[in-house]
Structures are given as structure tokens and as C-alpha cells.
Structure 1
């Protein structure tokens, strides 16, 4: 393993495979990803969840095929089992306003200048939902079942943001909570050599670079309700 921040290591093979979008944040950070606590208030999170419970505008999330504009029409539920909802204009505006308040902090952390962003995706995970390991900007290249590189299919994605509207709680003591469903970084390890596994709380935002160093998955939800707002951001690297 190779140390990439004060407390996190990556799988050594990443340093040697073909990765056109290779980029890492400042190695002197404790973590190579940024967690913004209480990005949205608990009240706002619950209001969005309430609205989604009454909504019927969901569609099944699909897999990116060859570019950010091309989706595989096959659902491929062995890879991804989630639903996408539209976010009401009121809360879209609230989200964008708060994001602007944190923009300078995000840019400083990743040493980038944020430019454009995608539309917000609201992703719902119910019992049994999951998303297997993937990179947000590239597809993996295999040769005889061995990873030999990564093919960029959405190179304009530089930074990924995930806002948790419900919280991880194995006891399910709050109305909008879930067990299982952790966010796992498949090639990142902590000081005990365990995969980095995040269980953020309601209102927390996690941001990380979109390239294959930060390949990640969502473990199957055991019980409860997992709702996140996901967005990808283009940027100029400083």
C-alpha cells in the first residue's frame, strides 16, 4: 500500500496502471476526501424525504455506457439497484445556495477551481438496493480478469459530491435511517489496512475526486431508507 494522506493508503497497483485522469489531493490532509458536517439542516433533510415519500416521479437508475450522455438501456440490476427522483425547485435552490457558501472551502481542499456542475441526482436505496464498485469518470479495463487500466468516459467529472438526507443507524432509531448501505472506497485503506468505509449522518456531504483512485460502492441496504443527493463537478486543476 502507498500512503496518499496522513491517515489513508491506496492500493499499489493504481500507481502503475494506465489512468489518464490520475489526480490526488494534497497529501498533507488527514483524509483524501472532504466531509462537510451539517451541509443541510436535519429539518430540510426531513422535508425532502417527506416530499419524496409522496412523489411518484421515480425511475430506475441506469449504467453509464460509453460517455456521460450515453446510458445502457439494460437496467443491469446485478450492478446497480437504485431509483432516481427529481428534486423540487425550492430545495434545489436551497442546495445550490449552501453549496456556494462552501465552494471556496472545496476548491482549497482539492486545489481546483470549480466550473460547471451536472444536474442533481436524488438516489433512493431501499432494502436490498446497492451499487457495485465503480469509478465516476472511467470504466475499468480488464485483461484475463486483471485490471490493466481505466478508460475515461466522463472526463469532465473532476469532483463528486454526495449529500446524505438520511442517516446510517444500525438500530433504526430515527424515522429516516438505514442499516447497511455504507459507502466503501474499494482501493483506499486506513491505518489498520481495512477498506475505508463511511457511514455519514443526516445532512453530511462527502466530496472526493471522481477518478479511479476513489472507486467506490454502496453496500446493500439491510433495512430502512437511504436517500442521497449526488452531483458531479467539472474543475480547472491548479
Structure 2
């Protein structure tokens, strides 16, 4: 948990909490050190090369299905018991962030589910919300990028829609070390087609006792 509490950590968490309180989303680039980003990238690629990833699905439970016309990435779900030090540190750091956000915003965040995502060249994820229609547990989304030197024109941006009508948006380049946090039930978003392999680590902070909403 040291990462968020090193020098200027209070400034980092204050910036995150303040932005989430005022606009519901934030982009930061100093949650993890460059060495930590590189370690996560290497862990992701090692699992990719080892064949551990599976085609990503949409939906939940009995409605879960691979729909390549909606999303064409592959994912590997992670857990805190993973023996890779980089992954353990990721969960420790994110838990410290969870505590800070709860302290500032009283969101009741209880745990984190997370996966690596690899988008081969040409892959995308169409516009969607991160909260299931029958379960409101997912509360705060985190997307963390692992791509070194992502060039302009390579695509793969996260397009975050800022209004309910999806008329205003911001595109966020998937550069290593960049983290995007946003309220899961408020912001439609999509991943624009990537022109080269794109790596990310996506997490959802959840509340316990989610209720049926539809």
C-alpha cells in the first residue's frame, strides 16, 4: 500500500477525489511509477505469450456471450492471490485508492475485480456502460494503460462520453502510466479501433449488496 502514500500522495488522492466529486471522471498519470508500469506490462505479455487469455464476452450469467461485433479484445481475469509481485502490488495500490475514495466520497466501495485486456491490431469495443442492467454493484471504473510510446495515429483511444446524449466526448490516448477513473453508471464509453497491439488493465470497484435495477 506504500505507492499511494509516498511523497505527495495526499495531493494525488485529493486530486482524484475532487475530480470525481465535481465531474465524475478523472485522468491521472502518477498512480504507479514507471518501474511498476513496466513490471505490469511484462506480466501481461508473459501471460499473453503463455496462452492464458480468452476472447472477451459481453453480458453476465446466462446471458454472457462472445460477441466479436461488439468487442474483439481478449482478457485475463486477475486476483489478489496471484504470485506475480507486480499484480500483488497493483491490488495493494488500488486498495489504498479505494480507501481514500471511500473516505472522501462515501461510495461504499468494498472490493475490486480486474483483468488484463489485450487488443490485437484492428480490435475495438463498441459504446457501452460498465454497469449491468440487473446489478448495480459496479460503482467506479478504472482503466490503466501499459503501452510504451503509443504514437499519434495508432487509434485505440478511450472515448468517454460526457453527457447523457453522447454528444460531447473526450478521447484519451492509451499511453503507459495513464489511468482513467469514472463513475460506472454515468459514462458511456468505447475503445476506438487500435492499429497496433494495445494493453490495458481494467478494474471495477464494487459495492457489496448490489440491487436489481431492471
Fold agreement, TM-score > 0.5: yes
Q: TM-score range by the shorter chain?
A: 0.7 to 0.9
Which has the larger helix fraction?
2
Deviation at 1:117, TM superposition (A): 2.4
Larger radius of gyration: 1
In the alignment, structure 2 segments of 5+ residues that lack a partner are 1-18, 209-214
Confirm whether residue 164 of structure 1 aligns to residue 136 of structure 2.
Answer: no
Task: Give the number of equivalent residue pairs.
Answer: 181
Q: Is the CA contact 1:80–1:132 (under 8 Å) kept in the aligned structure 2?
A: yes
Q: Is the CA contact 1:159–1:235 (under 8 Å) kept in the aligned structure 2?
A: no
| Cα separation, 1, equivalents of 2:137 and 2:39 | 30
Alignment map for 1:102-117 (pairs within 5 Å): 102-108=97-103, 110-117=105-112
In the alignment, structure 1 segments of 5+ residues that lack a partner are 1-23, 139-151, 172-177
Please list the CA deviations of residues 212-236 of structure 1 after superposition, one character each: whole Å capped at 9, or x if unmatched: x2011000002x2211111212238
Q: Is the CA contact 2:44–2:116 (under 8 Å) kept in the aligned structure 1?
A: no
1:81 corresponds in structure 2 to 72
1:130 corresponds in structure 2 to 124
1:199 corresponds in structure 2 to 173
Q: Report the CA distance shift for 1:50/1:26 in structure 2 as closer, same or farther (over 3 A).
A: closer
| Cα separation, 1, equivalents of 2:206 and 2:21 | 18
Q: Is the CA contact 1:167–1:226 (under 8 Å) kept in the aligned structure 2?
A: no
Confirm whether residue 93 of structure 1 aligns to residue 88 of structure 2.
Answer: yes
Deviation at 1:80, TM superposition (A): 0.8
Moved segments of 4+, more than 6 Å = none
| Cα separation, 1, equivalents of 2:107 and 2:72 | 32
Q: What is the TM-score normalised by the length of structure 1?
A: 0.66
Confirm whether residue 220 of structure 1 aligns to residue 163 of structure 2.
Answer: no
| Cα separation, 2, equivalents of 1:168 and 1:32 | 28
The alignment's C-alpha RMSD in Å is 2.8
Deviation at 1:137, TM superposition (A): 0.8
Q: Is the CA contact 1:185–1:197 (under 8 Å) kept in the aligned structure 2?
A: yes
Deviation at 1:168, TM superposition (A): 6.5
Deviation at 1:122, TM superposition (A): 1.1
